[in-house]
Amino acid sequence: MYDLVIIGYGPGGYSASLLALRKGLNIAIVEESKLGGNCLNRACIPTKYYWTGAKFIEKLDVLSNYGIFIDKNKIDFKQAFEKKNEAIKYLRKSLRQLLKSKKVNVYKGKGKIIDKNKILVVDKDGNQSIVEAKNIIIATGSKPNSVGNLKLDNKYIMSTDFLLEKLDNLPKSVLIVGGGVAGCELGYILNKYGVNVYIVELKDRLLPSRDVSKDISRHLLRKFKKLGIKTFFNTTIEDYKIENGFIDVKLSNGENLKVGKIVLSVGRVPNSDNIDEIGIEKDNKGFIKVNQFLQTNYSNIYAIGDVIKSPMLAYTSSMEGEIAVKNILGEKIQPSYEYIPYAIFSAYEIAYIGLNEETAKEKGINITYGMYSYSFNEKAVDESDTDGFIKLFFDKSDKRFLGGYIMGSFASELMHLLEIALRESYTAEQLHNLIYFHPSITEIIPFASYDVAEGKLF
């Protein structure tokens, strides 16, 4: 009997295994598909791979600023696809090697909990095995959502998962259904790789999430317009027809589009079907219910990541994975979602944390803010990458940092500093008074804090 069996080896399962191995637990993995889960194989990692390519394509335009004269011959997505696969294969191999060197058994197949200490694993050929475990972590993740009348065929109509994992050739035009994070990320990438991109969004803006400032949506939309990405808000697909290798789409606003492919980017649902025979409790959307220690209704069975109702992020899954293992080891730790930074890799690198204009108002908190533009930042000028800005929010009375966002290069990396500032309740003055390299992009932070810390310059 294993000390711990982890079902699903995405970021959550991986993270749980890393800590369990450090602590000397005897563990096994059950994984139905590829090691690394959605994140590595068909979400975060391929997205950032292609995004890097898209940014490089953009940067070709500034090379002459550095005396680098090139002829742009060809943009070949097939080659990017193959090299992307190589990169992911390399990362998967390092997971496999880790498990091998630590002598961790990996049961390939679909796991079903048939007893609070037993998992039935059925592989793709129908072979069955029973794995016994003192503790179980369910980390089976999520799968793409679908919408009403659009049928996924992976030829004309596909999920973002399929696009990121399998698509090796790009059509001339793509209609993306959903202007959320994945839609905005893929929209930008496809645009840069030469595709004519349309985005249809049910709500009235890009990134229509409560935590995303409307300001961010506005700036991103302006950039999309410049890039030639066409957006339709408050709009749905009313009907479609596949004819002569194209999809004729009728939008709810009355317009008609003819596109090569449709990509569905309308959120994800938990991967919790058929996961047990012992009555593990789920909510009406299929999320596994857990208590504050990540335990299901069986105290030795934990659930983490996209399969529970917490932010559907690789890195909160990782946090939950470590916490579940600590709790298995006898601690009583609760995950905290208070200081989560968010990042979006689109036409801008975007990151945010904490409150914004709208959410502060909802909460009745009086805020004051500071801003700074990348165009005043010397490092950004040195890098010919000055399109961006930062906005930071502080409590009006005590000037403590409450949240903020960055649109511009390295936004996601810089956000970690603001995460600590939020955790440590830094005031504008403290944030301003750290020692910052000059020149560095990070200097946008002390300059954005300066007005609040020491009074306005203008």
Which residue numbers are catalytic?
438
Please list every residue from 254 through 313 that binds a second copy, using CB under 8 A: 313
- The answer to whether 330 contacts a second copy (rule: CB under 8 A) is no
Please list every residue from 90 through 119 that binds a second copy, using CB under 8 A: 90-91, 94, 101-102
**4 Cβ contact list (under 8 Å, min separation 6):** 16, 20, 25, 26, 27, 28, 133, 134, 135, 136, 137, 325, 328
CA distance 437 to 190: 36
Kindly determine how many residues on this chain lie close enough to bind a second copy according to the rule CB under 8 A. 94
In angstroms, what is the minimal distance from the CB of 457 to a second copy? 6
- The answer to whether 241 contacts a second copy (rule: CB under 8 A) is no
Please list every residue from 351 through 380 that binds a second copy, using CB under 8 A: 351, 376, 378-379
Q: x/- site string to a second copy, residues 336 to 355, per CB under 8 A? A: ---xxx-x-------x----
- The answer to whether 74 contacts a second copy (rule: CB under 8 A) is yes
- The answer to whether 9 contacts a second copy (rule: CB under 8 A) is no
DSSP tag of 36:
T
Query: In the complex with a second copy, which residue's Cβ is closer, 101 or 284?
Result: 101
Distances (CA, A) of 142 to 26, 367, 410: 27, 37, 28
For 296, other C-beta atoms within 10 Å of its C-beta total: 24
Which one of 174-182, 246-254, 391-399, 431-439 is the stretch in contact with a second copy (CB under 8 A)?
431-439
In angstroms, what is the minimal distance from the CB of 182 to a second copy? 15
* Best CA proximity match to 386, nearest among 367, 372, 370: 372
- Sign of the dihedral defined by the CA atoms of residues 218, 220, 221, 227, in that order: positive
- The answer to whether 410 contacts a second copy (rule: CB under 8 A) is yes
Query: In the complex with a second copy, which residue's Cβ is closer, 285 or 456?
Result: 456
And the tokens for 83?
């090299």
Query: In the complex with a second copy, which residue's Cβ is closer, 26 or 146?
Result: 26
**CA angle at 244 for the pair 243 and 249, rounded to the nearest 5°:** 35
CA distance 302 to 134: 11
Query: In the complex with a second copy, which residue's Cβ is closer, 45 or 280?
Result: 45
3-state secondary structure of 244: coil
Query: In the complex with a second copy, which residue's Cβ is closer, 300 or 442?
Result: 442
- The answer to whether 427 contacts a second copy (rule: CB under 8 A) is no
3-state secondary structure of 427: strand
Please list every residue from 22 through 51 that binds a second copy, using CB under 8 A: 22-23, 39-40, 44-45, 48-51
* Best CA proximity match to 448, nearest among 369, 356, 354, 372: 372
Q: How far is CA 57 from the centre of its chain?
A: 22
Q: Which of 172, 218, 361, 423 binds a second copy (CB under 8 A)?
A: 423
CA distance 312 to 314: 7
Q: Give the amino acid at 280.
A: I
Please list every residue from 127 through 186 that binds a second copy, using CB under 8 A: none
